[in-house]
Structure 1
Amino acid sequence: MDLHYLVENLTNPALLFFFLGLIAVNLKSDLKIPENSSKFISLYLLLAIGFKGGQELSHSTITSQIIWSLLFGVLLAVLVPIYCYFILRLKLSVENAGAIAAAYGSVSAVTFVTTISFLELSRIPFGGHMVAVMALMEAPSIIVGVLLISLYSKNKKDKTSFRTVIHHSLTNGSVVLIIGSLLVGYIANDAQAEGIKPFTTDIFKGFLAVFLLDMGITSGGKLKDLLEKGWFTVSFAIIIPLINGCLVAIISGFFMEEIGNRLLMSILAASASYIAVPAAMKLAAPKANPGLYIPMALAITFPFNITIGMPLYLCIIGVC
C-alpha cells in the first residue's frame, strides 16, 4: 500500500483540527464550541453538500450506473443492520443491539463530507448523485432496527407505533435538509446558483475544520466511557465498518466506474450514524443505552474511517 494517500489525509487541516480537539480534552482544556454554533455548522454542512450535489445531478444524465448506485445504497441500509443485530445479540440486549445495528446500517453525513473534502484535495472526481445515495440510506436502517426490536422484544408495553417511527425517521431534520437541499440544487438555475457559491463552496472547508474540532472535543469526552464497557463494543466499532467498507470497495467495481463514487459508497457502508439514529432511537427504543451507540459511532468508527479507512478503501479500489 502506497502511504501517499494516508499521509495526505493525515495532513488535511480539517482532520488535524479533529486531533486538536482530542488533545484539548486530554489536556483538560476548557476549549469548547458553543452548542448553538455547532448545530448551525452541522446544518450548514448538510445544506452545502446537498445543494452542490443537486447542482451536479442537474448536469448529469440519469444512467444505469446512477440507478444501480441508488438501489445498492438502499440494499446496504437494509441488510447491514440485520446481520449486525444478530452479532450484537451475542453480548447485548435486544434494545441495545437494535439501536447499534440501526446506527451502523445508517450513514454519517460528516464522514461523507470529510471524504468529499479528501477527494477534492486529491483531485479525484465523483458524481453529485452520491448525495442522493447518502440521503436514501438514512431512513431504511432506522426502520429495520425498530422492526428487529419490535420482533424480538419480550416487553410489548414499551413499543412505539410503527407509523410514528417511520414518520420520525423520514422527517428527521438531517434527512429533510439533505433531501431538500438536493432538490433545491437540482431545480436552481446555474446563474442563480453561482450567486451563492461563496456560501456553499468557498467557506465550506473552513466550516468543516471548525466542525471537526468540535467532533474531536466530543469524541475525546466520550471515549473513556466506551472503553469501560469492554472489548466487544470497541472491536465491533472497528471490525464491522472495516468489513463493510472493504467488501463494498470490491463489489462496487461491478457497477460503478469512477473511483470517487466507489470510495464514497465504501465510506457510506463503513460509517455509522450518530445524529439521525440517536434522535430516532430516543423515541423508538428509550431503553437502549446512548452511552453505547453514540460513542461507538463517534469516538471509534468516525476517526477510524477518516484516518485509516479512506486510504485503505482507496487502495482496494486500485489507487495505491
Structure 2
Amino acid sequence: MDVSLILSNILNPPVLFFFLGMTAIFVKSDLEVPPPIPKLFSLYLLFAIGFKGGVELAKSGVNQEVLLTLAAAILMACAVPVYTFFILKLQLDPYNAAAIAATYGSISAVTFITASSFLEQLNVNFDGYMVAALALMESPAIIVGLILVNLFTSEEESDREFSWPEVLQEAFLNGAVFLLVGSLLVGVLTGERGWQVLSPFTQDMFYGVLTFFLLDMGLVAAKRIKDLKKIGVFLISFAILTPILNAGIGLLIARLIDMPEGDALLFSVLCASASYIAVPAAMRLTVPEANPSLYISTALAVTFPFNIIVGIPLYQYSINLLWS
C-alpha cells in the first residue's frame, strides 16, 4: 500500500487531534471536554453534512446513478447484520450476536465525515447524494437485528417487553437520523441560495468543529480500550477483519455500478464503519440481555480507530488499483 496515503490521512489535523485525545488518557492528563459540548458538536456535524448533501442533491437531481447508489446502500445495511450474525453466533449467544451485528450493519457518521475530509485533502471529488446513503444506512440494521433476536430466541428465554411501534420510532426518529434527514431536505429545498446564506456556518467552521470533536473521540476511545480485556481475541479480530470484508464487498458493488472514485470510497467507508451512538442506544432499549460493553467497545475502541488510521487509506489504495 502507498505509504503516502497513510501519511496524508494521519497528518490531517482532525486525525492528529484524535491521537492527541488518546495520548491524554494514556499519560493520565486531566484533559477533558465538558459533556454538553461533544453533544452539540455531533449535532452540528450532522446538520452541516446533511445540509451540504441536500444542496448537492438539488444540483444533481435524482437520476439512475443516484437510485442505484441508494439501493446498494440499503442492500448492504440489511445484508451485513445477517451474515455477521452467523459469524458471531459461532462464539456468542443470539442476543449479543444480534446486537453486535446490528452495530456493524449501521454506520458511523464521524468516520464518513473524516473520509470526506481525506478526499478533499486529495482533491478527489464526491457527490453530495452520498449523504442520503448515509441517512438510509443508519436504521435498517436495527430492524434486522431485532428480527434476528426474535427468530433465534424463544419467549421463555427472555423477559423482553417491547412493541414494534417503539422500535420503529427509535430506529427512524432518533435524534441523529431525524436531524440528518431533516437537514438534507432543507438543503434540497433551499439549494444554492441556502448554501450562500449558511456557508460561513456550514463550511468555514466545519473542520474546526470536526477537529475538536475528534479530540473528544480520542479521549472516549482511549477510555474504552480497557474494555478490550473483556471482549477477547475473537471479538477484537472480528472488529478489525469485518470492516475490511464489508469494505471489500462495498467496493465490488461500487465497481459493478460504476461509482466515481470519491463516491466509492465513501460507500466503502459506510459499509466498513460501525455505529457507536444510534444502534447502542436502540439495543439497550430493546435487547437488554446483550452486554453493552461488547458492542460499544468493539465499535468505538477497535473499529473506529482502525478505520480512521488504516482503513480509509487502505480502501483508497484498493480503489486506485480497481479503478485504474
Please say whether Structure 1 and Structure 2 have the same fold, judged by a TM-score greater than 0.5: yes
CA RMSD of aligned residues (A): 1.2
CA contact (8 A) 1:80 1:105 kept: yes
| Aligned residue number for residue 223 of structure 1 | 225
Q: Which residue of 2 aligns with 1:21?
A: 21
Moved more, 238-247 or 224-233: 224-233
Once the 2 structures are TM-superposed, how far is the Cα of residue 62 of structure 1 from its aligned partner? Answer: 2.0
Structure 2 unpaired stretches of 5+: none
Contact kept in structure 2, 1:108 and 1:273, CA below 8 Å: yes
- TM-score normalized by the length of structure 2: 0.96
Matched, 1:30 2:30: yes
1:147-202 residue CA offsets vs partner (Å, 9 max, x unmatched): 11111123253142222211211111100011000000110142332121011011
Check the 8 A contact 2:54/2:191 in 1, yes or no.
no
Paired with 2:61 and 2:136, the residues of 1 have a C-alpha distance of: 19
Letter in 1 for 2:256: F
- 2:107 equivalent in structure 1: 107
Alpha-carbon distance in 2 for matches of 1:230, 1:95: 17
CA distance in 2, matches of 1:51, 1:66: 17
Moved more, 192-201 or 269-278: 192-201
Q: SS of the counterpart of 2:60?
A: coil
Give the structure 2 partner of residue 3 of structure 1: 3
1:292 equivalent in structure 2: 294
How far off is 1:254 after superposition? 1.4
Q: d(CA) in 1 for partners of 2:170 and 2:200?
A: 33
Give the structure 2 partner of residue 88 of structure 1: 88
Give the one of 253, 256, 275 matched to 1:254. Answer: 256
1:13-52 C-alpha deviation (Å, 9 max, x unpaired): 1000000111100111111111100100000000000000
Which residue pairs with 1:308 in the alignment?
310
Partner of 1:67 in structure 2? 67
User: Residue 251 of structure 1: CA displacement?
Assistant: 2.6
Q: What is the distance in 2 between the residues matched to 1:27 and 1:185?
A: 43
Give the aligned partner of residue 150 of structure 1. 150
Distance in 1, matches of 2:229 and 2:310, equals: 20
Q: Which one is further off, 143-152 or 40-49?
A: 143-152
Counterpart for residue 123 of structure 1? 123
1:263-320 Cα offsets, whole Å, 9 max, x none, are 0000000000001101111111112111111111111101111111111111111269
Distance of 2:249 and 2:226 partners within structure 1:
30
1:130–1:264 contact (8 Å) kept in structure 2? yes
Q: Quick one: distance in 2 between partners of 1:174 and 1:306?
A: 21
Q: How does 1:236-247 map to 2 (within 5 A)?
A: 236-247=238-249
Please give the alpha-carbon distance, in whole angstroms, between the structure 1 residues aligned to 2:171 and 2:213: 24
SS in 2 for 1:188: helix
The structure-2 alpha-carbon separation of the partners of 1:11 and 1:72, relative to structure 1 and needing over 3 Å to count, comes to same
Instruction: List 4+ stretches of structure 1 deviating above 6 A.
Output: none
Cα distance in 1 for residues equivalent to 2:233 and 2:87: 14
Q: Which residue of 1 aligns with 2:202?
A: 200
Whether the 8 Å contact between 2:187 and 2:194 is mirrored in structure 1 is no
Q: What are the superposed Cα offsets for residues 202-228 of structure 1, whole Å, 9 maximum, x if unpaired?
A: 110000011001000000001111233
- Alpha-carbon spacing, 1:12–1:50, altered in 2? closer, same or farther (3 Å): same
Is the CA contact 1:250–1:317 (under 8 Å) kept in the aligned structure 2? no
Residues in 2 aligned to 1:305 and 1:26: alpha-carbon distance in whole angstroms? 20
Sequence identity of aligned pairs in percent? 48
